């Protein structure tokens, strides 16, 4: 802060020495504004807006060099108050001209400090009012860039409102996000027949992976809550692994589960189904005063089509020390389309989801009558 105001003081001293030349260059009309923009070595930007030459000449009368040391003390006091305060930010007012009258010090200095960890990435905001209408404001934006503006109090407030509007517009802007889910798959609502028995899955080894690209359209946004509609393609893979010495088999228009012969020891029997889905979700996210996510929830549905499927069987024959592998690819009598409902709920960084396929896994009469249920964790996403 001190480095930023020292070059500013030098600028004012230089302008004071050239006031006679400047007086004829600037327009005397009160409604005309002249602007000087100075880019300082520390990447700060200093903007000076005056209505006439008299305002420009008056700047050298204020002790801005001694003000820099005062600001350091004022900012430290405001930051200390913000750390112990009960609100997200604390604004303190100081009156140097009343404390030391007759020295042409600023009439009022306002320092706004934010509690560490709040959503506002600015560390502080300083407003220095040289008189009732003319003042200096310095802020630090979200990228850490310092900005100084000098003008009337009304101009400062108008700029602040414009900056707030820009931030609000960014918050309501639609975005695109990546999604990644992992989970476990099981079969539910199954019906066994004489020819087709219900598959017995190893539920701790039957896994689910999902990659998605979601378009997020905010519907409602405040500092502590966000509601949005998300839609986008996702690629899902279900790995259904059997228990014991069971194996998946296909015979013409029939896919079923059977027990392998005693001469064949099954190491792993997996039915893999890869689908392309299009989910539509209504999602909600809540945050606390420190901008940390507290609760999130979502509900919606999905529809999609099967892209690929195969049966992988790894086994060892009697008398052999080596494993053998068989692989069968094709439609495997699976339903070509899929649709269902899904929901999610989360607390802080932990977010759980569940998906239920409303249509059966296999075509009617060509495989076991069963539905897919998947539960797991949202690793990336809304």
pLDDT in tens, 243-269: 999 999 998 889 999 999 989 999 999
Q: How far apart are CA 318 and CA 301, in angstroms?
A: 48
CA distances 353 to 34, 278, 283, Å, are 59, 16, 12
Which has the closest alpha carbon to 99: 138, 60, 73, 133? 73
370 Cα distance to chain centroid = 38
Q: Are residues 262 and 371 in the same domain?
A: yes
Q: How far apart are CA 243 and CA 200, in angstroms?
A: 6
Give me the residue label for tokens 């101009």: 155
Q: Are residues 156 and 8 in the same domain?
A: yes
Residue 38 has pLDDT above 80, yes or no: no
CB proximity list for 111: less than 8 A, separation 6 or greater: 71, 74, 75, 77, 78, 91, 92, 94, 124, 125, 126, 127
Q: Which two tokens stand for residue 275?
A: 């689908």
Pairing of strands 146-152, 45-50: parallel
Q: Are residues 151 and 228 in the same domain?
A: no
Give the mean model confidence (pLDDT) for residues 226-253: 94
Q: Are residues 341 and 267 in the same domain?
A: yes
Domain assignment of residue 116, given as a range: 2-170
- Please state the domain count of the chain: 2
DSSP string, 105-123: --SEEEEEEEPTTSS----
Q: Are residues 70 and 191 in the same domain?
A: no
Q: Are residues 77 and 185 in the same domain?
A: no
Q: Are residues 350 and 364 in the same domain?
A: yes
Which has the closest alpha carbon to 236: 282, 283, 273? 273
CA distances 99 to 79, 153, 231, 375, Å, are 22, 22, 61, 66
State which of 22-26, 55-59, 128-132 shows the largest mean pLDDT: 55-59
CB atoms within 10 A of CB 309: 19
Please give the helix or strand (H or E) that residue 15 lies within, else none.
Answer: helix 2-17
- pLDDT of 70 reads 73
Q: Are residues 32 and 130 in the same domain?
A: yes
- pLDDT of 370 reads 95
The residues that bridge with 279 in the sheet, in sequence order, are 302
- pLDDT of 373 reads 97
Q: How far apart are CA 272 and CA 258, in angstroms?
A: 17
Asked if residue 137 lies in contact with residue 156, where contact means CB atoms within 8 angstroms, the answer is yes
- pLDDT of 148 reads 52
Last residue of a domain, one of 148, 170, 192: 170
- pLDDT of 127 reads 60
- Sign for the CA dihedral angle at 292, 295, 300, 304 comes to positive
- pLDDT of 45 reads 66
Q: Are residues 161 and 182 in the same domain?
A: no
Where does residue 333 fall: left (phi above 0), alpha (psi -120 to 50 degrees), or beta otherwise? left
Q: How far apart are CA 234 and CA 304, in angstroms?
A: 9
Question: Angle between the 64-84 and 2-17 helix axes, to the nearest 10 degrees?
Answer: 150
Structure confidence at residue 27 as a pLDDT band (50, 70, 90):
very low
Q: Are residues 197 and 99 in the same domain?
A: no
Structure confidence at residue 12 as a pLDDT band (50, 70, 90):
very low
Last residue of a domain, one of 138, 170, 202: 170
Note the pTM of the prediction, 2 decimals: 0.58
Q: Are residues 28 and 159 in the same domain?
A: yes
Q: Are residues 118 and 188 in the same domain?
A: no
Residue 51 has pLDDT above 50, yes or no: yes
């Amino acid at each position: 802060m001190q480095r930023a105001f020292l070059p500013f003081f030098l600028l004012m001293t230089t302008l004071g020495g050239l006031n006679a030349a400047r007086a004829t260059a600037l327009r005397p009309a009160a409604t005309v504004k002249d602007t000087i923009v100075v880019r300082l070595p520390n990447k700060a930007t200093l903007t000076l807006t005056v209505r006439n030459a008299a305002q420009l000449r008056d700047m050298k009368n204020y002790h801005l060099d001694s003000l820099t040391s005062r600001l350091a003390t004022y900012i430290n006091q405001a930051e200390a108050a913000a750390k112990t305060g009960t609100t997200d930010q604390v604004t303190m007012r100081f009156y140097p001209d009343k404390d030391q009258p007759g020295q042409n010090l600023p009439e009022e200095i306002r320092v706004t400090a934010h509690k560490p960890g709040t959503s506002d990435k600015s560390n502080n905001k300083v407003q220095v009012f040289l008189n009732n209408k003319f003042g200096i404001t310095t802020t630090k934006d979200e990228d850490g860039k310092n900005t100084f503006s000098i003008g009337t109090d009304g101009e400062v407030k108008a700029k602040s409102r414009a900056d707030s509007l820009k931030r609000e517009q960014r918050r309501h802007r639609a975005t695109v996000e990546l999604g990644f889910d992992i989970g476990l798959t099981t079969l539910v609502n199954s019906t066994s027949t004489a020819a087709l028995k219900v598959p017995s899955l190893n539920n701790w080894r039957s896994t689910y992976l999902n990659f998605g690209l979601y378009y997020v359209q905010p519907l409602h946004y405040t500092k502590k809550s966000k509601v949005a509609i998300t839609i986008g393609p996702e690629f899902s893979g279900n790995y259904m692994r059997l228990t014991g010495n069971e194996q998946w088999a296909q015979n013409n228009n029939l896919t079923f589960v059977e027990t392998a012969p005693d001469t064949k020891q099954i190491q792993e029997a997996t039915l893999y189904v890869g689908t392309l889905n299009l989910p539509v979700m209504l999602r909600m996210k809540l945050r606390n005063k420190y901008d940390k996510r507290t609760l999130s929830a979502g509900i919606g549905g999905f529809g999609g089509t099967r892209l690929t499927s195969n049966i992988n069987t790894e086994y060892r024959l009697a008398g052999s020390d080596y494993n053998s592998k068989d692989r069968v690819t094709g439609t495997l009598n699976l339903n070509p389309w899929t649709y269902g409902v899904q929901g999610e709920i989360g607390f802080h960084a932990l977010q759980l989801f569940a998906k239920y396929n409303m249509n059966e896994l296999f075509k009617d009469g060509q495989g076991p009558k069963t539905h897919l249920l998947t539960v797991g964790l949202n690793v990336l996403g809304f």
